[in-house]
Amino acid sequence: MTIHRQTPLAESLSLSRQFGKDIHLKMEAAQPTGSFKARGVGHACTEHRNRGARRFVSSSGGNAGLAVAYAGRRLGVPVVVVVPNTTSERAKAMIGLEQAEVVVHGSSWAEANERALSMLSPTDAFIHPFDDPLLWTGHATLVDELAEQGGKPDAVILSVGGGGLLCGVAEGLDRNGWGDVPIVAVETRGAESFARAVAADHPVTLAGIDSIATSLGAKTVCVRALEVARSRRIESVVVSDAEAVEACLRLMDDHRVVVEPACGASLAALGRSRIVSESSGRIVVVVCGGVGASAEDLFRWRAGFA
């Protein structure tokens, strides 16, 4: 059973005209859980089920937690998702709708994660939100699809939270013989743990997250993400929350899709990236999706910035 689905590669005439580039959007918002997480989480859950896991335990109240809940329901495996008390009622309801047990603990993901780890039994599998080779292999299927849909791109733009998507796309590029394709790795200001790690050449832990793009809110990126940055051409770009929200609203107008600011960040980088400005080929933006924002939220944030 495959948990994720193949997603469209959509030409964006409006963005192509605006930037004078050939821009295509890999529409991961079309995944059954609303984000790319369905790929890696679905692969990890399937592997653990095949190895005998009788329950999945996760520690994310966002897109990863929802993906674990969905995968568990599809695979017939019970799921427990531990979320911090900052998790929205909407997110908890969506996870519960997938028949997962929701446990609220602590005021941060770190505290929820400690609680989740303490609940593990020998027959449980822990599904990490971003730091697991199984996840990266699942996320790499995104590039396998690009190879079928449009061939080799000139560059790939994606958002970085904990680094799982970055690691997966790098793996996918390598296994398709596209290791020379550059990656533009994008974060919002106040959640730029990857940018700081790249600048310091070692993992950096942020004191806190000061961005509305909470799905990018990993205080420290996984070690593998930094290794990827050392081994290939990667441009780190940081945009503002306001730019990310405007990009979300533009996507909603042009392509009728609502995504989180964490996803809008990648679209906002089109006007900031040196790799994009120098490119003469096709640029693929991973529209990673996300279910943590509504159209009402986006308009409210825009009004607040104004």
String of DSSP letters for 201-238:
TS----S---SS-GGG--SS--HHHHHHHHHS-EEEEE
Give percent helix, percent strand, percent coil of the chain, each to the nearest 5.
50, 15, 35
**How far is it, in rounded angstroms, from Cα 201 to Cα 129?**
23
Question: Token digits for 147?
Answer: 């190879």
pLDDT at 95: 95
Question: Token digits for 121?
Answer: 């039994």
Mean pLDDT, residues 264-271: 97
**How far is it, in rounded angstroms, from Cα 191 to Cα 241?**
10
pLDDT at 155: 98
Mean pLDDT, residues 153-160: 98
**How far is it, in rounded angstroms, from Cα 92 to Cα 24?**
33
Model confidence at 109, in pLDDT bands (50, 70, 90)? Answer: confident
More confident site: 106 or 171: 171
pLDDT at 20: 95
Hey, what domains does the chain have and what are their CATH numbers? 9-36+134-305 (3.40.50.1100), 37-130 (3.40.50.1100)
pLDDT at 84: 86
H-only helix segments in 105-184: 109-118, 133-139, 141-149, 164-175
Residue matched to tokens 């296994």 = 175
CA-wise closest residue to 94 among 5, 42, 32? 32
More confident site: 234 or 90: 234
**How far is it, in rounded angstroms, from Cα 206 to Cα 219?**
5
CA-wise closest residue to 100 among 50, 166, 162, 55? 55
Mean pLDDT, residues 219-229: 95
Mean pLDDT, residues 54-62: 92
> Over 80: is that where the pLDDT of 61 sits?
no
Single-letter code of the amino acid located at 168: G
Question: Regarding beta strands 183-188 and 234-239, do their DSSP bridges make them parallel or antiparallel, or are they unpaired?
Answer: parallel
N- to C-terminal Cα separation, the chain:
47
Classify residue 254 as left (phi > 0), alpha (psi -120 to 50) or beta. Answer: alpha
pLDDT at 253: 97
Overall pTM > 0.85? yes
Question: Token digits for 251?
Answer: 């996507």
> Over 90: is that where the pLDDT of 282 sits?
yes
pLDDT at 120: 97
Question: Token digits for 87?
Answer: 């998790």
> Over 80: is that where the pLDDT of 53 sits?
yes
Mean pLDDT, residues 37-55: 98
Helix (H, G, I), strand (E, B) or coil at 138: helix
Please list the residues that pair with 56 across neighbouring strands: 79, 125
Among residues of the chain, what percentage have pLDDT more than 70? 100
pLDDT at 91: 87
Question: Token digits for 285?
Answer: 């933006």
pLDDT at 89: 86
pLDDT tens, position by position, 123-154 = 999 999 999 999 999 999 999 999 999 899 99
Question: Token digits for 290?
Answer: 């996300």
**How far is it, in rounded angstroms, from Cα 112 to Cα 188?**
24
